[in-house]
């Protein structure tokens, strides 16, 4: 079935005519593709070139809706669960971290965070639903990619912007922002300077001060600061060892 369904859906999503009808068809096709879950193996030759073309074309022309673009990424990143050879395409060729960082920055600006009516507060907007889908992908991405790369700082920066925009307006999204920040600190080669520059440390501190804070999110906040503290201790130790090495070298030369 996959050998028939996947190429047909990709063919619909590849259409580049600028019309609402074509855009809607592409969105529905990509949404259907994103429902093919991570435990479902699909042969690379059925999808890889086409999904890369779809994502790259959108990066240049911005032709997809926010939901369609997220769905394209979700289909691709879900394949990574059963085929880790996709790391190069996801990280280096298509720049997942950079792109999602940009998407989050846009969401921080476009979501109607300050809902005035009670019925509005209880109803999720389409933007909020897509944003929550992005957070699922960020969760998977950070867990599956062991090495910290320079572009990841942009992803963290996007999470920070959403965290600040959602503060006091959307508790669920505020809580979801904390885990990827905690996860980032657990990368062995993360730089504390990147966390400071992106505002992650301030964002988590602000998150801890929210009146409605569940136990799980509080644990993530505490774990974040515990890991940052450990990283600072490691940096101090490395600097001390480097100074000792240089001092020993000077003694030998003299």
Q: Angle at which helices 126-144 and 171-185 pack, to 10 degrees?
A: 20
The packing angle between helices 66-79 and 48-61, to 10°, is: 150
> Residue 122: its pLDDT value, please?
53
Tell which residue, 206, 201, 144, has the closest CA to residue 175. Answer: 206
pTM of the shown model: 0.84
Q: How far is CA 192 from CA 161, 175, 201, 225, in A?
A: 18, 22, 9, 11
pLDDT of amino acid 83: 82
Closest C-alpha to 153, from 200, 205, 217: 200
| Block mean pLDDT (10 aa), the chain, length 254 | 88 89 93 87 92 95 94 92 84 90 92 64 76 90 73 88 90 91 82 83 89 88 91 82 77 67
CB–CB of 133/117 below 8 Å? no
- What secondary structure does DSSP assign to 119-185, as a single string? HHHHSPPHHHHHHHHHHHHHHHHHHH--S--TTHHHHHHHHHHHHHHHTTT-HHHHHHHHHHHHHHH
Looking at residue 72, what is its pLDDT? 96
In the chain the first and final C-alpha atoms are separated, in Å, by 75
3-state secondary structure 75-117: HHHHHCCCCHHHHHHHHHHCCHHHHHHHHHHHHHHHCCCCCCC
Residue reference for tokens 């940009």: 102
Note the pLDDT of residue 123: 58
Asked if 148 and 88 count as a contact pair (C-beta separation under 8 A), the reply is no
pLDDT number for residue 211: 77
Tell me how far apart the alpha carbons of residues 156 and 195 are, in angstroms, rounded to a whole number: 8
- Asked whether 187 and 230 are in contact (CB, 8 A), the reply is no
């Amino acid at each position: 079935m996959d050998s028939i369904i996947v190429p047909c859906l990709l063919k619909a999503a590849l259409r580049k005519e600028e019309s609402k009808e074509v855009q809607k068809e592409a969105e529905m096709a990509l949404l259907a593709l994103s429902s093919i879950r991570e435990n479902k193996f699909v042969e690379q030759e059925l999808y890889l070139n086409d999904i890369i073309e779809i994502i790259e074309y959108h990066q240049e022309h911005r032709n997809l809706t926010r939901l369609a673009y997220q769905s394209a990424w979700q289909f691709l990143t879900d394949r990574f669960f059963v085929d880790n050879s996709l790391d190069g395409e996801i990280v280096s060729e298509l720049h997942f971290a950079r792109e999602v960082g940009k998407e989050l920055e846009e969401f921080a600006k476009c979501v109607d965070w300050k809902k005035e009516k009670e019925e509005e507060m209880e109803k999720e907007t389409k933007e909020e639903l897509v944003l929550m889908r992005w957070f699922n992908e960020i969760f998977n991405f950070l867990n599956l990619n062991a090495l910290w790369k320079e572009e990841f700082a942009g992803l963290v920066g996007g999470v920070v912007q959403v965290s600040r925009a959602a503060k006091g307006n959307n508790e669920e999204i505020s809580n979801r922002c904390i885990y990827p920040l905690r996860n980032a600190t657990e990368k062995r080669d993360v730089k504390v300077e990147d966390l400071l520059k992106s505002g992650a440390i301030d964002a988590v501190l602000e998150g801890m001060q929210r009146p409605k804070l569940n136990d799980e999110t509080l644990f993530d906040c505490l774990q974040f600061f515990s890991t940052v503290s450990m990283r600072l201790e490691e940096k101090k130790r490395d600097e001390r060892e480097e100074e000792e090495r240089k001092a020993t070298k000077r003694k030998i030369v003299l």
